[in-house]
């Protein structure tokens, strides 16, 4: 059962603005309000400093998982054409050892690329990532981790080949 999350100072200030629906940040403000009002179990969100288009979502892993008691942070950057394009989402260090998470923080998830739809939200993406971590049977790196490990995280996933369309 989730409870309302208390907004941090930056979130509170952003939410106090009366943003018109024509403003590009209107959708982001609505999403933040909804996330804070009904945060999914194990997830919390903060705005990073004064940049309303940069969120940090904390994943607190439940006891019945291989990541029991561990905490991870996702960096979520909303592009100027959001929600037409997906947000850039990747793990900040330390990254979980998971077959769909590269050591640079990138996440092999088609929702962040070819399967993104404008009806999706940052919260729904975070929930999908939380879910794939919760479902892991063991901690392991992706097969092609060495190819991605040195890359800057959070780049567009336009040309990615996804290992598992079920994740």
Closest CA to 42 of 101, 128, 107, 105: 128
Report the C-alpha gap between 79 and 41 in whole angstroms. Answer: 27
- For residues 63 and 50, is the Cβ–Cβ distance under 8 A? no
Burial class from Cβ neighbours inside 10 Å (0-12, 13-18, 19+) for residue 18 reads exposed
| Spatial CB neighbours of 79, under 8 Å, sequence gap ≥ 6 | 85, 86, 87, 88
Closest CA to 84 of 108, 57, 119: 119
Told to judge if 108 belongs to the known catalytic residues of this protein, a careful annotator would answer yes
| Active-site residue, from 45, 108, 112, 128 | 108
| Three-state DSSP state, 124 | helix
Catalytic residues: 108
């Amino acid at each position: 059962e989730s409870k309302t999350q208390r907004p941090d100072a930056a979130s509170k200030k952003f939410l106090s603005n009366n943003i018109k629906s024509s403003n590009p940040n209107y959708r982001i403000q609505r999403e933040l309000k909804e996330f804070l009002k009904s945060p999914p179990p194990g997830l919390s969100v903060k705005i990073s400093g004064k940049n309303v288009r940069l969120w940090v979502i904390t994943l607190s892993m439940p006891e019945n998982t291989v990541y029991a008691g561990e905490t991870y942070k996702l960096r979520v950057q909303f592009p100027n054409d959001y929600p037409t394009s997906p947000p850039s989402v990747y793990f900040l260090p330390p990254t979980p050892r998971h077959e769909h998470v590269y050591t640079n923080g990138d996440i092999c998830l088609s929702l962040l690329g070819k399967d993104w739809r404008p009806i999706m939200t940052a919260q729904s993406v975070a929930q999908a990532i939380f879910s794939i971590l919760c479902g892991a049977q063991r901690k392991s790196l992706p097969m092609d981790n060495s190819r991605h490990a040195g890359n800057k995280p959070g780049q567009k996933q336009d040309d990615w080949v996804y290992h598992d369309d079920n994740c």
